[in-house]
Structure 1
Amino acid sequence: MITVQVSYRVVPGYAEQNQRNIAAFLADFAQLDAAAFRYSVYTKDDGVTFVHLSMYRDEATQQQVLAVPSFRQFQQERDASGLDNTHTVEILRYVGSSAPVL
């Protein structure tokens, strides 16, 4: 299993558009094999810091999900919006869960 946490902060005027773009790619993700991955997005209390948590069964699944056109469009628009060097990508190592995971 591959687990990745991505966090970043957008400029305040872009937060609503970012949420719309996230909703678009999540709708497309819902058409994929839900048993192969989980993808969740959160905002922090400031409303402009976003945290994406994704889990993939394997690398092939990860590549399939990340290649969805609406996701790639989201990334391009987010990056062009003026991120303020807060973008981080962390690979997490699975320890355990109270419910079954991939």
Structure 2
Amino acid sequence: MINVIVSYTVNPDFVQENKVNIQKFLNDFKNLDQSTFEYKVFVKEDNVTFVHYSNYINEEVQHVVLNVPSFKEFQRVRDESGLNGSHKVEILQSI
């Protein structure tokens, strides 16, 4: 099992667009085998910091999920919005 947490902070004027883009890829993820991965997105109390939690049964599934076109587009637009070095990826180990 692969478990990942990604966090980043966006500019306040980009929050709504980011939420729309997130919803697009989450809708597309529904067309994939939901038994092989989990993907959840949260926004912190500051309303500008997003946290994505995901887990995948293996690297093949992770590759399929992360290469959905709407997800790739979400990443491109998010990164171009200016994250000011806040992007952080953490791999979690199960206990």
Same structural fold, with TM-score higher than 0.5 when normalized by the shorter chain:
yes
Match of 1:18 in 2: 18
CA deviation vs aligned residue, 1:56-99 (integer Å, no higher than 9, x gap) = 0000000000000000000000000011111100000112xxxx
Matches of 1:73 and 1:94 in 2, distance apart? 30
Task: Return 5+ residue gaps in structure 1 as ranges.
Answer: 96-102
Task: Return 5+ residue gaps in structure 2 as ranges.
Answer: none
Shift of 1:2: 0.1
**Is 1:83 matched with 2:83?**
yes
Match of 2:48 in 1: 48
Matches of 2:11 and 2:37 in 1, distance apart? 29
Shift of 1:42: 0.2
TM-score by length of 2: 0.99
The structure with the largest alpha-carbon Rg is 1
Match of 2:74 in 1: 74
Matches of 2:74 and 2:94 in 1, distance apart? 27
Match of 2:28 in 1: 28
Match of 1:5 in 2: 5
Shift of 1:21: 0.1
What is the root-mean-square deviation of aligned Cα atoms in Å?
0.4
Shift of 1:30: 0.6
Matches of 1:18 and 1:89 in 2, distance apart? 18
Amino acid at match of 2:20: R
TM-score by length of 1: 0.92
CA deviation vs aligned residue, 1:6-65 (integer Å, no higher than 9, x gap) = 000000000000000000000000110000000000000010000000000000000000
